Structure 1
């Protein structure tokens, strides 16, 4: 039986049995494979690194979408950078208060193949009238666009290949210029045990740009190496202090059904392990 062995870490890792290869190709930007695994359903990997699976994607997408939007409380315009599988777009669009979403994806082929082979991720989200898809480099977009947003979500790959630029000071400063007053940036930031250097570097780059920056976390089975960290950056420190009662009211009024996110999980996600707290001081 063919196996997929992830290459994220040089000396250890995870493997998946491949029941069927649904698609495999070297795109203009990266190597893309989508295959079926008995335990996790359809799995997508880019450049040897697992990006998403049908069975656990909901944890990642719910936490990176709902935490900032419920904390903000009046999100009308959202920018998603990356996220070509459509799962993030799906979760953002569950919020009826959101009037417009721009999604910037560098690789059209990722969107096309995910619409075909991972349709349960997007569930038709790409066809929503509130959505504007832009095929462009995310760094260039945030540094040149005149659009502004309440929430920016960086749903990037790890800082390898095309995703590396989305962890730079230039990207973060571009995001700041695109945020409306009281706006909020959240980003995928790797697993805290296996990729702690990424967390440290991100903290160092956010610190000069935002008055309130930290990380929150979730555990996602196929993202190995500790808890998954999400960076949080804003110039409105009150957003992180949103009370549990307010979060519960917003969640109830939204009518959104989730499988992982709850207001209690939202608040608890900001409680970080001591080794992470020490690392980002």
Structure 2
């Protein structure tokens, strides 16, 4: 029996493979090559330039942790900006919160949004058409440099620091994000798998420290992003949100619950406990 396999080659020394039961579509966009295929274990898998971005099997873990941790930590998020996130999963989770009045999605590649609307509607689950959503097709770094709006939360839902997503890991971008925060505002982003991408932890730490009162990381275990824990970057204009007590987080969740499959208030607090091998990357 002939079997087709997709092999991701993000690392030059380690590869992971997925058995492909059906290739749904493949297009060469103006900025990136986009492909979608089905697998037995992970459902539909979206790739950009050969690197896996999202799978319908486990995307809920990543999206829930990048959305709900800062929302419940802040306690009064009304305005959010998502940079990247063209699949719509981050919008979906953020808009579960009734407190959110405005959500701006800044995506550099319109082809990704159109593609995901058509082929991955379950990921966005109507979030693109929510009246609170504003979709802006623009380069994230240019948008933030010009932005005069203030946000309670900025979520950087980007690719790894290669290709179009590379500029979203630079100090000028982080500085502009800091300027666009409200006094207790928070910035979160995906920061790679520390065991394999430790330099991302170190670089982000150094680039954010001059511009935020509080810089740290928290963790999630996402099967697709192999190599151990995935690091999620945290930066805030104040030190309050990250240190809120377990009791406070539980009370906020009880008062304004959302449906989740991974996030809980207990996981929220535990996710900020960093193993020594990760703390080494930031000199702690």
Normalised TM-score (structure 1): 0.98
Tell me what 1:249 maps to. Answer: 251
User: Contact 1:142–1:177 at 8 Å: present in 2 too?
Assistant: no
Equivalence for 1:92: 94
Q: Runs of 5+ in structure 1 lacking a partner?
A: none
Match of 1:275 in 2: 277
Residues 125-182 of structure 1 deviation map (CA, whole Å, 9 limit, x = unaligned): 1000000000000000111011110000000000110010100011101101111111
Q: CA RMSD in A?
A: 0.8
Instruction: Choose from 83, 104, 109 the match for 1:81.
Output: 83
Match of 1:210 in 2: 212
Q: Secondary structure at the match of 1:233?
A: strand
Q: 1 CA distance for matches of 2:50 and 2:198? A: 20
Stretches of structure 2 lacking an aligned partner (at least 5 in a row):
none
Give the equivalent residue in structure 2 for 1:160.
162
Q: Note if contact 2:178-2:237 (Cα within 8 Å) is conserved in structure 1.
A: no
Equivalent pairs counted in the alignment come to 281
Match of 1:120 among 103, 119, 122: 122
Contact 2:181–2:237 under 8 Å retained in 1: no
Report the counterpart of residue 34 of structure 1 in structure 2.
36
SS of corresponding position for 1:215 = strand
Runs of 4+ in 1 over 6 A off after TM superposition: none
Q: 1:2 touches 1:19 (CA, 8 Å); kept in 2?
A: yes
Match of 1:172 in 2: 174
Distance (whole Å) between structure 1 residues aligned to residue 138 and residue 47 of structure 2:
21
Matched residue, 1:72: 74
What's the secondary structure of 1:248's corresponding residue? helix
**TM-score normalised by length of structure 2:** 0.97
- 2:240 aligns with one of 226, 238, 243: 238
Q: Counterpart of 1:75 in 2: which secondary structure?
A: coil
Q: Which residue pairs with 2:150 in the alignment? A: 148
Q: Secondary structure at the match of 1:95?
A: coil
Structure 1 contact 143–177 (Cα < 8 Å) conserved:
no
Partner of 2:18: 16
